[in-house]
Amino acid sequence: MEAVRENTIVTSKQKSRITTHKMIQIAMLGAIATVLMMFEFPMPFLAPSFYEFDFSELPVLIGGFAMGPVAGVLIELLKILLHLLVKGTHTAFVGELGNFIVGCAMVVPASLIYRYMKTKKGALIGLISGTIIMAVTGAFVNAFLLLPAYGKAFGMPVEAFVEMGAAIHPSVNSLFKFCLMLVTPFNLVKGAILSVVTLLLYKRISILLKSFWNK
């Protein structure tokens, strides 16, 4: 009976230690993602300049692969909250909401697939699936939520976005076509770049995370 009690205490301590380590890793990766989010650059050949690319999803994906989709979502959320704390918002929170939704649309399916297929093939399938889901989600969320909300917050008519899109792609003549022709390719390119870098770096960084875990 005493041995069972001791084993229960040890197991409880181990679980507590694992939880603490996970929280530290989530906080660490969230902080790194926040720093990376500050280094943004536009892709004017793909979308208007207010759509900017950064590598902040990289720590989110690595955390999701290492600890699961819930950890990925928490890192994504922490990244947004820290960014708001440090820089505030210039988009009436619309940009931050969009970043969170689109980021989760990639990390959740990618890390969920990798959780059940922990091979390079599984990682590749997860990242491709995550990129496609992110691109589709981004198109619909921008068309029906984010751009209308942004326009309302700053007094911009829908036609203003359509005109900006037409300057890049002449076939753009509606808000949905704006998202289909510009936002979707932007997110596909973004997802492809993040996927390649994740595949190159994940194993190396996961070794560091495991060594930290075992200290």
Residue 20: per-residue pLDDT: 79
Cα 75 to Cα 199: distance, rounded to the nearest angstrom: 19
- Contact criterion met (CB below 8 Å) for 60 and 103: yes
pLDDT tens readout for residues 168-191: 989 999 999 999 999 999 999 999
Residue 207: per-residue pLDDT: 62
- Contact criterion met (CB below 8 Å) for 30 and 79: yes
Residue 83: per-residue pLDDT: 95
Mean pLDDT over all residues of the chain?
87
- Helices and strands (H, E) in the chain, number of each type: 9, 2
Residue ranges of domains in the chain, CATH in brackets: 2-213 (1.10.1760.20)
CA-based nearest residue to 101, from 62, 143, 63? 143
Res. 46 pLDDT band, cuts 50 70 90: confident
Res. 18 pLDDT band, cuts 50 70 90: low
> Exposure of 52 by Cβ count < 10 A (0-12 exposed, 13-18 middle, 19+ buried)?
middle
Task: Find residue 52's DSSP bridge partners.
Answer: 42
pLDDT tens readout for residues 82-122: 999 999 999 999 999 999 999 999 999 999 999 999 888 99
Res. 202 pLDDT band, cuts 50 70 90: confident
- Three state DSSP letters for 27-50: HHHHHHHHHHHCCCEECCCCCCCC
- Contact criterion met (CB below 8 Å) for 138 and 184: yes
Q: Say how many C-beta atoms besides its own lie within 10 A of residue 128's C-beta.
A: 16
The answer, yes or no, to whether residue 43 has pLDDT greater than 70, is yes
Residue 210: per-residue pLDDT: 57
State phi, psi for 176 to the nearest 5 degrees. Answer: -65, -40
Q: Kindly state the percentage of the chain with pLDDT values over 90.
A: 66
Res. 22 pLDDT band, cuts 50 70 90: confident
- Contact criterion met (CB below 8 Å) for 33 and 198: no
Three-point CA angle 82, 67, 54, nearest 5°: 40
Three-point CA angle 122, 128, 130, nearest 5°: 95
Cα 213 to Cα 20: distance, rounded to the nearest angstrom: 10
